[in-house]
Structure 1
């Protein structure tokens, strides 16, 4: 506590620079607005604001102070008004809402909301979030390179939740493969209450109906999930160039590494126009340093030297990499990730008809005699193996391959007619032999049917299996025949093969629902990335084996992931021809499955065994092995050799995959130090919401036709219900239309009030219902209904007013909040103060007391629990005279506090600037290289962003005036 005297005549002139800080109130176009964020631009200061007045209460807007008259309300000139509401409900709501709307400081190390959603609290995931938010990074930028199954989507949700709470997540773009759009949207909404609009084909159609063709859709929707295939088109690139995002997430980001692709062009554009950037990929590099460097440059261009060399320390700062058996993972996943069973490789003896095809392939195509292969094209070494691969997949796939080649030959008038005729003859002979296999039961198909029945698939059984195959013809063949041979209705066997994203997402979601009819999912490799299939399934079948360890690993990861309660079993069906050479090939493919399993256990990364880091590259290597040009041990390295190598894989193993000396121990998350959502004013979020409804509506329990919202609280079941008013409905309309309609969300919103109840209803949706969206959504801290309640409560006070209340103080006391912000309008530091006036008649004597948090400040005057309000405080005019001295003395007190914070933040900015200058100096030496121009531009942009992170303004706001709670007193 400090004693201070100030002259009564101190001026109360507004500091415009400080008044534009987030949290301040301004008047624009004769309406009051709460400043949410600011930006310095070439056209002046751009203010992003939230409406407070009756006409603009639910509106958000942006104004340039160079185009509109912006009048800041001077905090020191605030007028005191008495709160006469029962138990000080109005003041409590206003104060709680102010706390909730005040951003957590950028440098706050503890997690505020990430651990309060419906995700399990796992220490390794929290560590990734803390690393992304580490104050040393200045900007949250990270490559989440955790292996398949560790929960990268949940880590993304936790990072985004924290960014929102820190005032850095108003505008967010998520870019994913199209078949996981709904899955991503579902996870972010059900786990973290973050609503995103999904711009799949149906969503884009709605946008076109709503917006003029010239309107930028990204200014209309603030939080968007869209597929990379849609977004990279020229139509959207033009709109994206004009738009800045607070955060961008790009899933499956290994598809960005090639600098010549449209994917990379899109990623570079988004990286430039976003502050936070999260890239996610279980296969983060392709073995080539230049490709990996391209990903790292997106995050931080100076983390790659001008000559292209990676900076190891910077890579460690920017990348998180763990796998299933990393110590920090293994010790916390426990029974929530059952260990995989040994590979179940099933050799299936070929039928006589299939042996005839195999013999023809062997003698005519794969290992022909003196006459050579009959193939007349330019890739004579490749096409025979295309036929062999199709044969090992299914007779249907081989038929499709033969017919496609015959069709090309019939249209080719430039080739050698004699050679083409010879090839046609050989293909027709092969087709005739294959036709016999189509008229009989395929040996592998017969074994698949038996295996599915052994797994329990059948009428009345909940057992489910996912069957992977490469070829579309094989998928269609299985999809067509399995229902009849399993004795199941047609809808019990579904196929995912690419095509329209809406249909893909519907099928995948049905497979996760216990009550849905689907029992067997026949999937192409489009479903091998990003899709979670483990909710009801622990059996996976490779109907054909990819000639790629990467693809095998990706497929297996669909059921072998965190949340899998049953030991997942991977079965590979291998057609075993009588031919000795062909049979040897089959055994080579079986070894691939075993090698992937070994790498999964020891490394968590099967791709490093072959060192190709590319599906096609691995297929080429395996083709050479099958052709007899190489040995399998030559192309698939031993586990020990991977760790001992000197390539990028070895660097990854050394930097990220090696066991830590002291594995991180699971621990409860530390409570947030600073601004705390658990402010002490309310025991829980539902009590806050209930009070807000009591304040906003005369009788919240009445139906909407009678002026209420039909509020109902069922404590026994842990749920509350209300009919959303129109301004709340607007905030929910971005969610899937099918979900809103099925659950009648906009008519009757049901909320689970505890994490236990929320998890129960989420699990029940998959167990009992036909859609995975829960009937009762968890009321987490970031829920739109709470944000809506806060906006209503903030409109309770008139222009530039603060409430007067009673508390356990000995003299009138003013509660104040100080914030230090940077040029980007982000909160760098906060301070809670109380200013006590022992002799109110002499306001020049003030006792300033700092408090470590909002809760501590409230506790200081007895407001950490609800209080009765005997009567409104009187003589508020006299109390108004105390506001200006309190504000000015608090500003003086905070000078040293904020100077220390400024020095600390300034040192970080200086370190980053020095590192960028060092990169510039190195680039000068190599300036003759043309590819440096673009990189230098990125570094210059980085410098400008870093400079904008420097603190440059402070704001002190009075929040409450508290008088002694004494009967018969003056007040």
Structure 2
């Protein structure tokens, strides 16, 4: 605690600055309560309160409620040590207790890493978002998660925000187009929004704006999450530039992608280098595998440790249906024209007049395989760009015009694939009187629009029963459609979508039918699409169906057999490998499409481009490395020698969070004489339903304003806040909300988890019950006056490295220098020493509290003298970790000295030097001892009211 500008503040974090420390604080005294501020040591006088000069105040509250609340709040605000590998709050959230996900969290927190940095490369559907939430929760509990930025594709902004708040009680301000508009109304145009919102979620598209890019360069984060991080692997893109900026300006860094690289060694190496520069050799291309293994985790659906846990919560997909659909006469005419004029011209070359005449004919073919409508738009757009007066263009226009007429005829006639789609949807009971749903994927927007317009009439549906989703919609529109489709009350029965929904979106809560209306020419894209319904949490075996047009033209029909075999290979790889990208080894949708085009054009065979599942052996260095991770990290715990996941036993004075909340509210709002009227928050409990509710006071409403806006609107929590008090009830209400019966996916009552902002709020109120540098005196079952103390070891960044608890006994209080100090085994032991974890009885305030102040300074000094030995192991372990990293960096420098491209070496050396400064900041530098409570024997007399009033003053 510090005093700045004559107000009291609780220090929550510190950062080095050019002229001393930048101290981040939470207000405690009345004027600044519920205010956060940051002070520069060079500008403000920051007075740290001396714990040895603490005043002792006799607690006069019933059951020592004030002291118990203050002590509980202090323990909650004391971070778990930085390098404690055990899990804590992440195991108490609304996520299923899956050991394979806990393993990812533990790996992210591995003390062997200089900082918490990880690439979560689990295959599609394993729950990367949940792993992200668990990691962030653990960082928050360690005092390392105050400022967090999450970057996602724009269509999953709402989904990510929903998961972080509903399951982990981590509120993020969503900076989509609507959110940015609200920011503009609240902040001056020149204000950096990232300094105003401590936790934000934003799309990568928004960050491309030059203004936001400039803001990023001036902002440091405790943690940054890059979802779908493979979008940043192209070193020549703006996205890569943005991620590079963020990687340098954050402590913890989390990448998440099921397809983590694009096949280019230098791109993947750069991604790993962002996590830790020394994990990449000085050539900038070669992964130092032993170092990188600490930074990556990768498993798939059929990895033993995953398969053993998911059980019925991830139903196995049914055998896929690849339905051959005979082309209509009009479609056959188009196919023949494409085959004989464009794809396999009978008169020498195709009429295409562009620079690369190999690609465009297949662009036409791909459009046709989507729909005649898509082909028409492609043809017409091409004609617009041609000049009739140019001979080559004139020849192409003539050919395109013929194709246009045939496509228009096909569009006007009955479509074989469309008829097959309607018949299939009817066969699975999708219709006006049914609640069954289906997702229909197609690549071309004209196809989507055609399906959206045609399906309602064919299926007996209303227009609102068929929704369309594509990249041309705004971010808000995309999120609203996806959120609606998840709800049981949604009118949507068929979602026709482009590949904008193939990444990151959960569509399985109400749906288990997915239809490929056209076929992506990429194994990666096929797998991504399938993963929207084939993922953890799918209770019904998902059915994947593909409609394959089969024209009578032999050559064109032969081409389509290639796509059929591609689908078969995807299913084989999904079952055997869990990673379809290894079959082609290209790790890029575009590269795979180009390779399949080569197969279709006869330049390569399918076996040359796509390996058999049993033959995946000739792997390049990146794929071989990732494949080895898939094998070792996917093994069963007993086979791989993995230690069981340990959990931090967080001892508390109260049996559960709701009891702490109730007591705090009673102290603040129900005690006679409080500013609010009796029961001013209208607290109500419904034990049978495991729900409590109350009206948030004004200062809490201010904090709640940072909760998701749709949650505030749908559940009106600023008027009446409902909380689920058990994990089981929280999960049941969340599951009910995700069904969408109540027209919202937000639960009726939010789970009161250990990181809930309400608990943080009441903790701050409890801490403010004592004035500057005071501790309570209470009676306990002790023989002599005793002081309970906490000691912390912090590094230069202000992070807690280790904690210890002590009791100092004074057999002869008249001689306070005779003090017996004992180190307690744990915080639980410290609590048991106080006797306040049960239901203590306060017979009245302790007499002679002023005289007890003489015990504080000797207790603090003796505990400080004991700390060095207690923290020796933690200090040594930290030194060893830093030394190990230093050795790795020195080895890297030795390798770099042999490298000839000095510009690359200079760049990487600069990055390693920056990491060395981080390592230096990890050095333990300071020990601090604070008194927590003074205990006196049970028979200590009661002070008279006049004395107590004087002591209080």
TM-score, normalised to structure 1's length? 0.94
Inter-CA distance 722–189: structure 2 relative to 1 (3 Å threshold): same
Residue 399 of structure 1 is matched in structure 2 by: 376
Provide the C-alpha distance between the structure 2 equivalents of 1:147 and 1:54, rounded to a whole number of angstroms: 51
Q: Over residues 179-225 of structure 1, what are the superposed CA-to-partner deviations in whole Å (9 max), with x where a residue is unaligned?
A: 00000000000000000000000000111111111111110000000
The 5 Å alignment of 1:329-344 reads 329-344=306-321
Give yes or no for the alignment of 1:685 onto 2:685. Answer: no
Residue 45 of structure 2 is matched in structure 1 by: 69
Q: Is the 8 A contact 2:223 2:253 kept in 1?
A: yes
Q: Is the 8 A contact 1:643 1:649 kept in 2?
A: no
Give yes or no for the alignment of 1:509 onto 2:483. Answer: yes
Cα deviation for residue 660 of structure 1 reads: 2.7
Residue 806 of structure 1 is matched in structure 2 by: 779
The 5 Å alignment of 1:143-182 reads 143-182=119-158
Q: Is the 8 A contact 2:332 2:553 kept in 1?
A: yes
Provide the C-alpha distance between the structure 2 equivalents of 1:760 and 1:155, rounded to a whole number of angstroms: 21
SS of the counterpart of 1:930? helix
Give yes or no for the alignment of 1:734 onto 2:710. Answer: no
Residue 7 of structure 1 is matched in structure 2 by: none
Q: Over residues 775-803 of structure 1, what are the superposed CA-to-partner deviations in whole Å (9 max), with x where a residue is unaligned?
A: 11111000000000000000000111100
Cα deviation for residue 357 of structure 1 reads: 1.1
Residue 631 of structure 2 is matched in structure 1 by: 657
Equivalent of residue 719 in structure 1, options 688, 691, 697: 691
SS of the counterpart of 2:458? helix
Provide the C-alpha distance between the structure 2 equivalents of 1:748 and 1:444, rounded to a whole number of angstroms: 52
Give yes or no for the alignment of 1:323 onto 2:295. Answer: no
Residue 697 of structure 1 is matched in structure 2 by: 669
Residue 633 of structure 1 is matched in structure 2 by: 607
Provide the C-alpha distance between the structure 1 equivalents of 2:698 and 2:903, rounded to a whole number of angstroms: 56
Give yes or no for the alignment of 1:196 onto 2:172. Answer: yes
Moved more, 746-755 or 845-854: 845-854
Q: Is the 8 A contact 1:815 1:960 kept in 2?
A: yes
Cα deviation for residue 738 of structure 1 reads: 2.8
Inter-CA distance 665–190: structure 2 relative to 1 (3 Å threshold): farther
Q: Over residues 295-352 of structure 1, what are the superposed CA-to-partner deviations in whole Å (9 max), with x where a residue is unaligned?
A: 1011001110112321111111000000001111110111101111111100001111
Provide the C-alpha distance between the structure 2 equivalents of 1:455 and 1:699, rounded to a whole number of angstroms: 62
Equivalent of residue 336 in structure 2, options 349, 359, 365: 359
Moved more, 529-538 or 759-768: 759-768
Provide the C-alpha distance between the structure 2 equivalents of 1:100 and 1:394, rounded to a whole number of angstroms: 60
Equivalent of residue 261 in structure 1, options 222, 226, 237: 237
Inter-CA distance 493–888: structure 2 relative to 1 (3 Å threshold): same
Provide the C-alpha distance between the structure 2 equivalents of 1:144 and 1:381, rounded to a whole number of angstroms: 38
Provide the C-alpha distance between the structure 1 equivalents of 2:824 and 2:594, rounded to a whole number of angstroms: 66
Cα deviation for residue 579 of structure 1 reads: 1.3
Inter-CA distance 668–866: structure 2 relative to 1 (3 Å threshold): farther
SS of the counterpart of 2:509? coil
Provide the C-alpha distance between the structure 2 equivalents of 1:97 and 1:181, rounded to a whole number of angstroms: 33
Provide the C-alpha distance between the structure 2 equivalents of 1:701 and 1:656, rounded to a whole number of angstroms: 64
- Structure 2 unaligned segments of length 5 or more: list them: 945-953
Q: Is the 8 A contact 2:468 2:496 kept in 1?
A: yes
Cα deviation for residue 644 of structure 1 reads: 4.8
Cα deviation for residue 369 of structure 1 reads: 1.6
Residue 519 of structure 2 is matched in structure 1 by: 545
Alignment RMSD (CA, Å) = 1.9
Inter-CA distance 956–699: structure 2 relative to 1 (3 Å threshold): closer
Moved more, 501-510 or 929-938: 929-938
Q: Is the 8 A contact 2:508 2:532 kept in 1?
A: yes
Q: Over residues 745-787 of structure 1, what are the superposed CA-to-partner deviations in whole Å (9 max), with x where a residue is unaligned?
A: 1111111111111111111113212111111111100000000
Equivalent of residue 454 in structure 1, options 420, 427, 443: 427
Residue 468 of structure 1 is matched in structure 2 by: 441
Give yes or no for the alignment of 1:114 onto 2:95. Answer: no
Residue 531 of structure 1 is matched in structure 2 by: 505
Q: Over residues 446-486 of structure 1, what are the superposed CA-to-partner deviations in whole Å (9 max), with x where a residue is unaligned?
A: 11011111111112311110000000110111011111111
The 5 Å alignment of 1:66-105 reads 66-105=42-81
Cα deviation for residue 702 of structure 1 reads: 12
SS of the counterpart of 1:137? coil
Residue 161 of structure 2 is matched in structure 1 by: 185
Cα deviation for residue 864 of structure 1 reads: 2.7
Provide the C-alpha distance between the structure 1 equivalents of 2:198 and 2:160, rounded to a whole number of angstroms: 16
SS of the counterpart of 1:364? helix
Provide the C-alpha distance between the structure 2 equivalents of 1:665 and 1:480, rounded to a whole number of angstroms: 57
Residue 948 of structure 2 is matched in structure 1 by: none
Give yes or no for the alignment of 1:299 onto 2:275. Answer: yes
Q: Over residues 43-78 of structure 1, what are the superposed CA-to-partner deviations in whole Å (9 max), with x where a residue is unaligned?
A: 111111111100111011111122111111110111
Inter-CA distance 106–967: structure 2 relative to 1 (3 Å threshold): closer
Provide the C-alpha distance between the structure 1 equivalents of 2:373 and 2:808, rounded to a whole number of angstroms: 82
Inter-CA distance 664–916: structure 2 relative to 1 (3 Å threshold): closer
Residue 949 of structure 2 is matched in structure 1 by: none
Inter-CA distance 682–666: structure 2 relative to 1 (3 Å threshold): farther
Cα deviation for residue 509 of structure 1 reads: 0.5
Moved more, 960-969 or 309-318: 960-969
Moved more, 836-845 or 689-698: 836-845
Inter-CA distance 205–477: structure 2 relative to 1 (3 Å threshold): same
Q: Is the 8 A contact 1:701 1:709 kept in 2?
A: no
Q: Over residues 99-150 of structure 1, what are the superposed CA-to-partner deviations in whole Å (9 max), with x where a residue is unaligned?
A: 0001000111211100111010100000000011111113100000000000
Cα deviation for residue 739 of structure 1 reads: 2.3
Provide the C-alpha distance between the structure 2 equivalents of 1:667 and 1:901, rounded to a whole number of angstroms: 21
SS of the counterpart of 1:446? helix
The 5 Å alignment of 1:190-229 reads 190-229=166-205
Inter-CA distance 703–751: structure 2 relative to 1 (3 Å threshold): farther
Residue 745 of structure 2 is matched in structure 1 by: 772
Cα deviation for residue 643 of structure 1 reads: 3.6
Q: Is the 8 A contact 1:328 1:664 kept in 2?
A: no
The 5 Å alignment of 1:536-935 reads 536-658=510-632, 660=635, 662-663=638-639, 670-673=646-649, 676=650, 678-679=651-652, 681-698=653-670, 708-767=680-739, 768-926=741-899, 928-935=901-908
Q: Over residues 431-452 of structure 1, what are the superposed CA-to-partner deviations in whole Å (9 max), with x where a residue is unaligned?
A: 1112221222201001101111
Equivalent of residue 106 in structure 2, options 130, 136, 153: 130
Give yes or no for the alignment of 1:374 onto 2:351. Answer: yes
Provide the C-alpha distance between the structure 2 equivalents of 1:213 and 1:819, rounded to a whole number of angstroms: 42
Give yes or no for the alignment of 1:486 onto 2:459. Answer: yes
Provide the C-alpha distance between the structure 2 equivalents of 1:360 and 1:793, rounded to a whole number of angstroms: 79
Residue 952 of structure 1 is matched in structure 2 by: 925
Residue 940 of structure 1 is matched in structure 2 by: 913
Q: How many residues align?
A: 939
SS of the counterpart of 1:560? coil
Q: Is the 8 A contact 1:704 1:723 kept in 2?
A: no
Q: Over residues 269-314 of structure 1, what are the superposed CA-to-partner deviations in whole Å (9 max), with x where a residue is unaligned?
A: 1111100000010001222221110110110011101123211111
Provide the C-alpha distance between the structure 1 equivalents of 2:936 and 2:864, rounded to a whole number of angstroms: 22
SS of the counterpart of 1:940? helix
Provide the C-alpha distance between the structure 2 equivalents of 1:944 and 1:63, rounded to a whole number of angstroms: 23
SS of the counterpart of 1:955? strand
Q: Over residues 206-245 of structure 1, what are the superposed CA-to-partner deviations in whole Å (9 max), with x where a residue is unaligned?
A: 1111111111111000000001111133211211111110
Cα deviation for residue 420 of structure 1 reads: 1.9
SS of the counterpart of 1:136? coil
Give yes or no for the alignment of 1:312 onto 2:286. Answer: no
Moved more, 269-278 or 379-388: 379-388
Provide the C-alpha distance between the structure 2 equivalents of 1:669 and 1:720, rounded to a whole number of angstroms: 32
Cα deviation for residue 728 of structure 1 reads: 1.3
Q: Is the 8 A contact 2:843 2:942 kept in 1?
A: no
- Structure 1 unaligned segments of length 5 or more: list them: 1-24
SS of the counterpart of 1:915? helix
Provide the C-alpha distance between the structure 2 equivalents of 1:836 and 1:719, rounded to a whole number of angstroms: 43
Residue 9 of structure 1 is matched in structure 2 by: none
Provide the C-alpha distance between the structure 1 equivalents of 2:640 and 2:276, rounded to a whole number of angstroms: 27
Q: Is the 8 A contact 2:672 2:678 kept in 1?
A: no
